[in-house]
Amino acid sequence: MNRKSSHLLLSIVITLTCLSAKAAESASPPSKLVIHADQAKDTISRNLYGQFSEHLGHCIYEGLWVGEDSTIPNTRGIRNDVVAALKEIRVPVLRWPGGCFADEYHWREGIGPHDLRPTMVNTHWGKVTENNHFGTHEFMDLCEQLGCEPYICGNLGSGTVQEMQQWVEYITFEGVSPMADLRKKNGHEEPWKLKYFGVGNENWGCGGNMTPEFYADQFKRYATYVRNFGSNRVFKIACGPNGGDYKWTEVLMREAGRRMNGLALHFYCGTGKKSRSATEFDEDDWFFQLKNALRMEELVTKHSEIMDKYDPENRVALLVDEWGAWHAVEPDTNPGFLYQQNTLRDALVAATTLNIFNNHCARVKMANIAQMVNVLQSMILTDKEKMVRTPTYYVYQMYTVHHDAKRIPTDLQAANYELGSDKLPAVNASASRDDQSKIHVTLCNLNPNNTAEVSCEVDGAKVDSLKARLLTATQITSHNTFDKPDAVKPTAFDGLKKTDNGFVATLPAKSVVMVEVQ
Ligand code: AHR
């Protein structure tokens, strides 16, 4: 063999060795999921798939509301394209007007003829002038167009008890009363139904910097005057803890648990370790973010344990009415507008978190991702007349199968996803049975390098047919833009194999898969 051919042979050997090492790396050890199909019990409330819209940046103005005179097609000022897209994901409930904005909002400034409404400064979010053109009537119209329940958050931080009492009267009183007459004068003869009402927002922070003891007293005082009129029944929601503030939950449940219907936890999962950018990050950042998202499991478990102590009958719901990934704003945008892009990483954050909520549906009855359009981890981004669906939107679309279905308990032994000296479970899952007895299993593979083989045993049900949808993309940073709106989009998935007692799913690296079993 001459020098040239021995060189060639050596490089072939090296290449083959590298390839086989890579092939050996490309699959995680198998994971095992037992699906107890005969034990379906608690309902996964569709409200776990709720949304949040605040007067912040371009969420309301431009994102949802363009005004009747806009050249952008609209119905009574509300964008038709955005409503049509949101109807596809069947938004069940929408929280409004904030957020921090709620505790500065005075609802009477947002009713009556647009040109007579006073302006205000949105001090929290960019100090922009708010023209109050989107108010109570416009919000209720939006909910009607979306076919969702309204969830209004009242102003406890800077508003009066009377103001809160009158807002509920304005919306729901059906007879003759000063507020009902005012509503009629403003063009809405019939009262609306309003079930969900928040008594303040983040009152441990932007809503007044209160101690839990002080807020518990304030909650009781304000909530007393949030009345049920006619057949309307208000579900009163107290401001809950900031992430792992267990003392807040303890004090609120002890002092005011009997007077509330729900307690609202807020948790935003920290962004990258090295980069806070929504689109420019590496595997360390990917890992860091997903590890943070998984903290939701611990939070809902521990807050639920405290609630179990004070409310063993499980009467008070735990709501997570603000959650999501919070990145740096997009370059050259107003820092106060919280406008961020949304990648495949955000889709995995959403899918993982929704699996956690599904699995805790006995106590967790509502969740509202922040926020619906153009702010934080949104479903939709808009730019003037353009609109794009984010990867997170597609997770919500795939998970509609769980709305109001019965949760099926599962046991999961997940392989690890290791990075450096750290690790997290590579796979997470949840399962449900719908009213036509179809079983749906949603699975995430958080490992961006390896496929994950999940051997799924279905106990107590026959597996006749299987079909599945997949959400993944070429890069961890893949995202949809106005020019390339379909870079991250679900496709049909054929990585399933039927077995004697279930099926094996081979999940591609960095993917979300929804399996339908019949
Ligand atoms: O969603 C953005 C802000 O985050 C909300 O206004 C506030 O409640 C939270 O701190």
Instruction: Dump pLDDT digits (tens) for 445-469.
Output: 999 999 999 999 999 999 999 999 9
Asked if the model's pLDDT at residue 8 lies above 90, the reply is no
The residue whose C-alpha atom lies closest to atom 4 belonging to ligand 1 is: 99
- List, for residues 97-150, the tens digit of each pLDDT value: 999 999 999 999 999 999 999 999 999 999 999 999 999 999 999 999 999 999
The two three-digit tokens of residue 469, written as one number: 């949808």
Q: What confidence score (pLDDT) does residue 184 get?
A: 98
- For the chain, report the end-to-end CA distance as a whole number of angstroms: 62
Check if 330 is active-site: no
Active site residue 516: no
Which pLDDT score, from 0 to 100, does residue 3 have?
46
Beta-ladder partners of 479: 343
Ligand 1 pocket test, candidate residues 53, 54, 151, most atoms within 8 A of CB: 54
| 349-388 tens-digit pLDDT | 999 999 999 999 999 999 999 999 999 999 999 999 999 9
Mean pLDDT score of the chain: 95
* Mutual angle of helices 161-172 and 212-224, in 10-degree steps: 40
Which helix (H) or strand (E) segment holds residue 445: the answer is strand 439-445
Active-site residue identified among 138, 202, 297, 453: 202
CA separation for the pair 326, 377 (Å, rounded)? 7
Torsion of CA 68, 71, 75, 81, to 10 degrees: -140
- The pLDDT of residue 187 is above 60: yes
Pairing label, strands 235-242, 262-269 = parallel
Q: What is the pLDDT of residues 66-95, one digit of tens each?
A: 999 999 999 999 999 999 999 999 999 999
Beta carbons of 243 and 292 less than 8 angstroms apart: no
Helix (H) or strand (E) holding 514: strand 511-517
pTM (2 d.p.): 0.94
Q: pLDDT (tens digit, 9 = 90+) per residue, 326-348?
A: 999 999 999 999 999 999 999 99
What's the CA gap between 292 and 272, in Å, rounded?
10
For ligand 1, atom 8, the nearest C-alpha belongs to 99
> Pick from 84, 429, 365, 59: which is nearest to 75 by CA?
84
Per DSSP bridges, beta strands 422-425 and 416-419 are antiparallel
* Pocket around ligand 1 at a 6 A CB cut-off: 54, 98-100, 201-202, 322, 370-371, 376
Looking at residues 223-228, what average pLDDT do you find? 98
59: confidence class by pLDDT, cuts 50, 70, 90: very high
Q: Best mutation site among 56, 101, 206, 340 for ligand 1, i.e. most ligand atoms within 8 A of its Cβ? A: 206
